[in-house]
Structure 1
């Protein structure tokens, strides 16, 4: 349980630092990273890549668009299609953000041997089952919630 609490605390602290320092949630950052990789994408493509629902991605894009980090535009061939693109301000924001908890974990995890990766995944799935949490729907994004600015 101590190890689980440490993981949860690391997630919370990382997300709070990201929110406090850069005014971004982890989910918003992931959307920016996906757009940086692809140049542009639809909300559906972002949702599939991030493991989030399309409605969630739409809400995230709304917030990012309000901040001038991304823009929406209609498709030229199919006007029903809406493309989301990263703006220069979004690129600057990404350049300022240090490696996130997810990025550090991914980089270290992918450096492990295949057998060790499989062992860790199996152990974590077993822990989830022991906690009766194996049926809970959870996105692969570690996030603690929306950023709320306090009065100045």
Structure 2
């Protein structure tokens, strides 16, 4: 292996370690995984939404969303309700407990990243995105289901 490849792998491991530590810290503070927090945030952004819409907005399969919603419902953070006009339609609604949890779930790593990334010149941002996409290709990660990061600077603070 070349010295540059070693350097790249070390940097990648540091990034993975830092994001893992952040995910564990969020889980300790909230009792939820980053994926569960993201789904809760997406649900809380509307009065009610469908599993299909949550899957579309997060970019993961509807089966994954069903599993995450099951866990959130078991903890009392969301409920499932039948549609008023179409009783076949299942809607997901964030509970008061779910909304309260989101207000106390900061994500300092994401906040710092966004602040620093947005301070970069446009060309630097484009180069970094291209490099990350290329890295994903090197790792055969193009087809790996991954949750996007929350849109807000805090996991669901509204």
TM-score by length of 1: 0.81
**In structure 1, what is the equivalent of residue 62 of structure 2?**
54
How far off is 1:96 after superposition? 1.2
Provide the aligned length of Structure 1 versus Structure 2.
141
**Alignment partner for residue 16 of structure 1, among 21, 24, 35?**
24
**In structure 1, what is the equivalent of residue 129 of structure 2?**
121
Q: 1:50 to 1:102 in 2, by over 3 A?
A: farther
Q: Deviations over 1:7-34 (max 9, x none)?
A: 1001111111122221100010001111
TM-score by length of 2: 0.78
- Structure 1 residue 27 corresponds to structure 2 residue 35: yes
Gaps of 5+ in 1: 143-152
8 Å Cα contact 1:26/1:141 also seen in 2: no
Q: 1:55 to 1:111 in 2, by over 3 A?
A: farther
RMSD, aligned CA: 2.1
Runs of 4+ in 1 over 4 A off after TM superposition: none
**In structure 2, what is the equivalent of residue 76 of structure 1?**
84
**Alignment partner for residue 2 of structure 1, among 3, 6, 10?**
10
Q: 1:31 to 1:76 in 2, by over 3 A?
A: same
